[in-house]
Amino acid sequence: MGTDNHGRQYITAADETLDATYEEPLALSEYVDLLLSEPHLAAHAPKYLLAAIEDAGTRTVIEEGEEKTRYRFFDDPWNGGEHAILGNTAVLNRFVDDLRSIAAGRGKEEKILWLDGPTATGKSELKRCLVNGLREFSKTEDGRRYTVEWNVAGVDSDPGLTYGDMPQEDEDDWYQSPVQSHPLTVFPPGVREELLAELNDRLDDHIPLRVEGELDPFCREAADYLEEQYRRQGAENLFSAVTDPKHLRVKNYVVDVGQGIGILHSEDDGRPKERLVGSWMQGMLRELDSRGRKNPQAFSYDGVLSQGNGLVTIVEDAARHADLLQKLLNVPDEKRVKLDKGIGMDLDTQLIIISNPDLEDQLDQHTNREGKDPLKALKRRLDKHEFTYLTNLSLETELLRRELTDQTEVWDAASWDELSEWMREPITIAVRGSDGVVRERELAPHTIQAAALYAVVSRLATTDLPSELDLVDKALLFDRGYLRDGDERVDVEEFTFDDSAPDGKHGIPITYTRDLVADLLHEETDRFHEELPVEHVIMPQDVLNAMQGRLVNAPVFTEGEVREYRERVAPVRAYIFGQQETDVLNAMMQDKRVDEETVQEYVRHVYAWTEGDMLENERGERVEPDPLKMKVFEIEHLGRFTEDDYAGHEATSLVEQFRSEQIVTALNRHAWRHRDEEFRVTDVNPKEIPVIKAVLGSYGWEDIKRTFEDFDPTQWNNPPGGTETESLKERTIAALVDDFGYSEASAELTSRYVMEQVAYNWSENGDELLDELGEARMSDTNGGE
């Protein structure tokens, strides 16, 4: 019984969902009363589409190094982000701007919105976002969408009879408008104009309502029949008789494909008229006699324009339907299409076409004919919005992770640190081998990030690359808006990039990367460890080697692209190695990390020392900054100086310069960026200062050498028992597992890889080489705020 009751909860929840979605049908007068209190419910198609997008709200993102406002509508929040469009925010914002102009009648009304770009750039996701978003918006009270339905039964009854004396109403006699006709099209044009004027006076919006055209031919046939019958009966109030609730009802409907959204798919075929509006049903034509002419009620209304009337019409893979594009030329401005020679249908729909670059090739085939180009008028009507491959590392990492797993939630990070943590995370995937056994395969930390970075680097233009940057630097600038130069933050505004550079127009597509990683998951490795399943781990180096090595066998790349992309892997390897090295170093020094209270005390002493101020101690006494505390912190925790840089406890000019330029200047800059009306520096958390984070969060091999005097990296793979190397390795592996997301197997492989790169530099005379390695790591890995 308990199980039955529990199951009933889901039935009840479904009932409540549907009850909240649909309303009881309204009489025409009730609908008008509703509009007078809620005028926005009468929105025409572009205005409604715009309202749905804006209703979902916005968030702030960084793309191409710039902060942008993004509409959450395109994150597909109704489905947990399953069909979110990652990136291309600037393109989507321009798309919304065009909708705003079209809805307001400020121009572009004759335009067909064209979304162009290579495969796997998010164009198909836009279609799904539109369907999901409009469907869900139409279920809300603010997003209700209405049309009309007719019942011509009972017209022979005496109109003077009371409703109670009428024949019982049969729901099977009601027929909804097959093309979602707007209820206000029932009114004669003059009356409708007056009504719209009053609605716009009450509308709290800068975009006025517009309802143009007539009832669709199907509904017009019903209305004309009723009007003729009541005129013959001598009805005095003819419009009232025709629109009486027994004949006409206004009902809300849930927007969906085929009902307010028309989609012409790439595989759809048929004659142009069938694909656009529908076809005549011969059997119905014989049954529905309209005195020698075709009855519009014998039409199928299953074409893309018919289904999309009232909201949006989408032509998918438009290159396959290029023959229709010229026939759509006059639809946006005339807003009318023909069912037959004498039967026209008015439309209220926003036209959107989606294509790959091959459509542009078709449109440009007559360009050399100059003024005689037969496609010139069509090209003038198309308003192009070009999607490109992602050029943001975090977005590409997110997309690749989505492609490989069922993790579809959109990353809405509050900081670069948060994004950075998400990007580096490993993935564990269950894979069934050829022997039928299911095994866990691990994509080690930074592996997905490495694949994504290589793909992004392949898409970036070099024509505008400043001489002091490489392509990884450019990728990081685009993703977070700044770089690190030692202790200094260098913002993207300090570099000049050409907006016309072809970033994202070419490169390694996500499909290549996804399929390659999927193949690696099923391939065996020759790694072996006596205790750990290292053969089941895929490392960042594995993916980069495969991505580079298999380019030549991929049919999507030309020989020139293969050569170019192969050359771009080197800085990616260096950056990812820097990330792995940072993990290992921080794990090795995990027990040596300075606590936040010590950092705050140091910063307070330095700031007071620079300003000549006094500090308040625990007893509330005013005391001078302690030179010994500052000295100890700078030598032991920062590792910047030695005893030789001080005169006793007093700082020399070198230390003074560091304190003033590196600590206090950064503190003032951060306080200015986060200032309030009183500009209280004391409220700033020192751990939020980028230079402090960079200094305290990054260790070098000199720190290791100074801290662990008996450590030998050449012994890392098999450290002798009882040595400092053995104990340090045990602590490092444990820290990588507990605090950095590694498994024991991936921690073993990563630490080995790092030690192999470092070991040959580890000698009594290798300080200079170690310093160079540390500097390269600092510039590659120091992260954000």
Q: Strands 260-264, 312-315: parallel, antiparallel or unpaired by DSSP?
A: parallel
Q: Which residue has the tokens 């050359």?
A: 567
pLDDT confidence band for 156 (50 / 70 / 90): low
Chain centre to alpha carbon of residue 155:
54
pLDDT digits (tens, 9 = 90+) for 20-35: 677 899 999 999 999 9
- pLDDT above 90 as % of the chain: 58
- Across the strands, what pairs with 443? 427, 538
Residue-by-residue DSSP string for 225-270: HHHHHHHHTT-SSHHHHHT-TTTEEEEEE--EETBEEEEE-TT--S
Q: Does the pLDDT at position 126 exceed 60?
A: yes
As beta bridge partners, residue 355 has 116
For residue 142, give every residue at least 6 positions away whose Cβ sits within 8 Å of its Cβ, in sequence order, or none: 40, 51, 55
Residue 436: per-residue pLDDT: 83
Q: 379: closest CA among 407, 401, 355, 411?
A: 355
336-340 and 256-257 as β-strands: parallel, antiparallel, unpaired? unpaired
Alpha carbon 248 to its chain centroid, in Å, reads 43
- CB 160, CB 277: distance < 8 Å: no
- The neighbour count for residue 644, using CB atoms within 10 Å, is 8
Measure the CA–CA gap between 108 and 420, rounded to whole angstroms.
Answer: 41
Mean of pLDDT values over 335-354: 92
Q: Where are the alpha helices (DSSP H) in 335-446?
A: 358-363, 376-381, 393-404, 416-424
Residue 314 predicted with pLDDT over 80: yes
Identity at 684, one-letter amino acid code? V
**Rounded to an integer, what distance in angstroms lies between the CA atom of residue 318 and that of residue 354?**
6
Phi, psi of 208 (to 5 degrees): -75, 160
Q: What share of the chain is helix, strand, coil (3-state, %, to 5)?
A: 50, 10, 35
The three-class DSSP label of residue 492 is helix
Residue 139 has pLDDT above 70, yes or no: yes
CB 148 within 8 A of CB 385: no
Highest mean pLDDT among 102-106, 208-212, 526-530: 208-212
Report d(CA 666, CA 694) in Å as an integer: 12
Q: What token pair was written down for 206?
A: 């800068």
721: nearest Cα among 713, 708, 730: 730
pLDDT, position 603: 85
Mean pLDDT of 60-89: 92
Q: Checking DSSP bridges between strand 646-647 and strand 438-443, what pairing results, if any?
A: unpaired
Predicted pLDDT at 700: 82
3-state secondary structure of 439: strand
Q: What is the pTM of this model?
A: 0.82
Helices (H) and strands (E) in the chain, counts: 32, 22
Nearest CA to 23 out of 122, 141, 179, 135 is that of 141
pLDDT-derived band at 16, boundaries 50, 70, 90: low
Does residue 165 have a pLDDT over 50?
no
Q: Could you read off the pLDDT of 598-616 as tens digits, one per residue? A: 888 888 898 889 888 898 8
Residues in the chain: 785
Task: Judge contact between 62 and 68, C-beta under 8 A.
Answer: yes
DSSP state string for 217-235: HHHHHHHHHHHHHHHHTT-
The pLDDT of 145-149, averaged and rounded, is 97
Can you tell me the distance from the alpha carbon of 644 to that of 508, in angstroms, rounded to the nearest whole number? 53
User: Given pLDDT bands bounded at 50, 70 and 90, which one contains residue 771?
Assistant: low
Per-residue CA distances from 429 to 59, 440, 521 (Å):
32, 6, 8
* Angle at alpha carbon of residue 617, lines to 616 and 622, rounded to 5°: 45
Is residue 257 within 8 A of residue 263, CB to CB? The reply is yes
* Residue 283 token pair: 């059997």
Q: What is the pLDDT of residues 399-430, one digit of tens each?
A: 999 999 988 899 988 888 889 999 999 999 99
Q: Cβ atoms within 10 A of the Cβ of 596, count?
A: 12
- Number of other CB atoms surrounding residue 330 within 10 Å: 14
- Please say if the pLDDT value at position 210 is more than 80: yes
Structure tokens at 281: 């049903």
In this prediction, residue 671 carries a pLDDT of 64
* Phi and psi, residue 537, nearest 5°: -100, 135
How far is Cα of residue 726 from the mean position of the Cα atoms in its chain?
Answer: 46
Q: What are phi and psi of 518, to 5 degrees?
A: -60, -40
How sure is the predictor about 705, in pLDDT bands with cuts at 50, 70 and 90?
A: confident
Which one, of 494, 504, 457, lies nearest residue 476 by Cα? 457
pLDDT of residue 783: 39
| CA distances (Å), origin 181, targets 139, 196, 405, 759 | 18, 16, 43, 76
* C-alpha gyration radius of the chain: 34
The per-residue pLDDT for range 292-311, each reduced to its tens digit, is: 678 899 999 999 999 999 99
What span, in angstroms and rounded, lies between the C-alpha atoms of 257 and 473? 44
Distances in Å between the alpha carbon of 513 and those of 393, 554, 627? 14, 11, 55
CB of 339 within 8 A of CB of 217?
yes
The CA distance from 540 to 103, in Å, is: 49
Distance CA 520, CA 447 (A): 12
Lookup: tokens for 399? 């997309």
Question: Where would I find the beta strands (DSSP E) of 79-133?
Answer: 112-116
pLDDT, greater one: 386 or 106: 386
Q: Are 449 and 475 in contact (CB under 8 A)?
A: no
Q: Provide the percentage of residues in the chain whose pLDDT is more than 70.
A: 87
